[in-house]
Amino acid sequence: MSNAIDALGSLWGPLLVLGQIGLFTLVLLISIAFLLLLDRKIWAGVMMRKGPNVVGPFGLLQSFADFGKFLLKEIVIPAGANKFVFIFAPIFTCTLAFAAWAAIPVAPGLEGGTSWVISDLNVGILYLFAISSLGVYGIIMGGWASNSKYPFLGALRSAAQMVSYEVSIGFVIITVILMVGSMNLSDIVNNQAGGLQNWHAFSFQNFPLVIVMFPMFVIFFISALAETNRPPFDLPEAESELVAGYQVEYGSTPYLLFMLGEYLNIVLMCAMMTILFLGGWHGPIALGPDIANALPPLLVSLSGLFWFMLKILFLFFLFAMVKAIVPRYRYDQLMRLGWKIFLPTSLAAVLVVAGYVTYFGVQA
Amino acid sequence: MALIAFGLIAAIVILSAVFVIAARNPVHSVLWLILTFCSAAGLFVLIGAEFLAMLLIVVYVGAVAVLFLFVVMMLDVDFVELKEGTLRYWPFALLVGLIFFGELALVWATSGQISAASFDPSPGGETNAEAIGAVMYTDYLLLFQMAGVILLVAMIGAIVLTLRHRPNVKRQNVGEQTGRRRADAFEMKDPAPGEGI
């Protein structure tokens, strides 16, 4: 192995990164296929239906069948559409959704202090925030380029909606940054080591803060629903009024890319919540340094990966349940919730956390 | 490697900036502007100022440009017609351009006298978010607060200018709505058969 590394010389670094990117993409694509099925199964279960159950055992291969069908259909571009922007919008959405995963640390590294991540950015959380704020362009471009009424209305709605909820997401992120004192995602995760009581959502170590941090977790969750255009905030694509919003004119592969981007963003939001509030790769019960050091490092890493994925799966389950249970908000209710309730609450929380950190300090 | 990356990104910045002006469709102009912002963020990353790069994307691309696009898409203005008379203003354009390039030349001529240390994105090994915060909230506190006050005034001004109270507009009072109980809305009657209420 080391000989091979020497032979490759300076090419080794870029090749390693390329390999990591390929692995991430592959794992994400396959997980999205099954998460999509899980989403539909949960939705069906709440409605006492069976859900997809024909393709493969228990309908397990349904997503792959859909995938093949999307690819084989003809791409129809409306006559009045702006061709380049029309095609570019779904590609942009999907690319951004993948790009955000470059900064997500999924498991502790084999050596102490490192983590399994493509790029361990100093400003990782800002990078994620920046990428998710770019996501709105895919929708606006798609809606505008279609040159049709419903998509345009859907695009305008979603632009206002996503910009509004980004504000409260930003403030919630600031509370976590204040507690950690770093914008590096690995630092944020490591700050929550030592079991359930240290996770930012609970933070019993800094006792009075739990009154602030748990509501912040809830606000982040609801804002994430709005940011990813999920029910009950799926007004951009409200099928009963706008048919399907910005994606009315899309079919075939471009539609597939939109949907892929949407689900990748949902899983990304779940990963962000896991990292910011639920301790990332740390399990709910701390093993203690003696046991952790005795275990082989690979086992520690893999168990970290297991916890990380389990937490994402739990949050995704919540996303799916919300979709099945909660009726859709009206547009003015959505704006009221974002600007009149979440914004003041999260702003007050930033003040409280900043004051606490300044005068009492944070016990990690 | 860094030089190639710089050349590539700088070329994209200049080209897309040219297209912002040259594009016939205003929506395309804004899209080119977004590419310019993103590439400029790339330049910041290249000199190691990743905090500024991310802020540029979050603030300008994520918020300001969205509003641009919003306005440009909603406006029903024929920009081609609007642009027709612009050639008349070329002396002003030339003057502004000359002043701008003069200033750039001044900066370039004096750049040797400014020490390289003052351009260090992370002086003393701290991350550049910490470095910026360390001076922004100490040496430049007053200026920083003044910038905040100016923004607040602008925001309140915009609200005051656009807020108008029209009569006969139906509004919802959410507190009133959720505070409604069954007793307020229902009245139980027991009508006799065949008589009605």
- Per-residue model confidence as pLDDT tens digits over A107-162: 887 776 677 888 888 888 888 988 888 888 888 888 888 888 888 888 888 888 88
Residue of B nearest to A89 (CA): B31
Averaged pLDDT for residues B61-90 = 76
- What's the CA angle centered on B156, arms A132 and B168, to 5 degrees? 100
Which residue in the set A126, A136, A152 is minimally distant from B66, CB to CB? A136
Q: What is the pLDDT of residue B77?
A: 66
Chain A interface, mutation test: which of B4, B66, B70, most A Cβ atoms within 10 Å?
B66
What's the complex ipTM? 0.78
A15 Cβ contact list (under 8 Å, min separation 6): A8
What is d(CA B66, CA B58) in angstroms, rounded to the nearest whole number? 11
Q: Across chain A, what does the average pLDDT equal?
A: 84
User: What is the distance in angstroms between the Cα of A162 and the nearest Cα belonging to chain B?
Assistant: 10
Averaged pLDDT for residues B17-28 = 85
Partners of residue A108 on adjacent β-strands: A115
Averaged pLDDT for residues A229-254 = 77
Contact B9, B46 (CB under 8 A): yes
pLDDT in tens, B103-154: 988 888 877 666 555 666 666 777 778 888 888 888 889 999 999 999 999 9
User: What is the distance in angstroms between the Cα of B123 and the nearest Cα belonging to chain A?
Assistant: 15
* Helices and strands of chain A, counted as H and E runs: 14, 2
A chain contacts of residue B129, beta-carbon cutoff 8 Å: 122-123, 183
Does the pTM surpass 0.95? The reply is: no
**CB-based contact, B54 to chain A, within 8 Å:** yes
- What's the CA angle centered on A330, arms A326 and A334, to 5 degrees? 85
User: What is the distance in angstroms between the Cα of B63 and the nearest Cα belonging to chain A?
Assistant: 7
B chain contacts of residue A157, beta-carbon cutoff 8 Å: none
Give me the residues of B, 19-48, that contact A with CB < 8 A.
Answer: 25, 27-28, 31, 34
What is d(CA A269, CA A151) in angstroms, rounded to the nearest whole number? 25
Q: What is the pLDDT of residue A1?
A: 43
Are A122 and B50 inside 8 Å of each other by CB?
yes
Q: Across chain B, what does the average pLDDT equal?
A: 83
Predicted confidence band at A267 (pLDDT cuts at 50, 70, 90)?
very high
Q: What is the pLDDT of residue A66?
A: 87
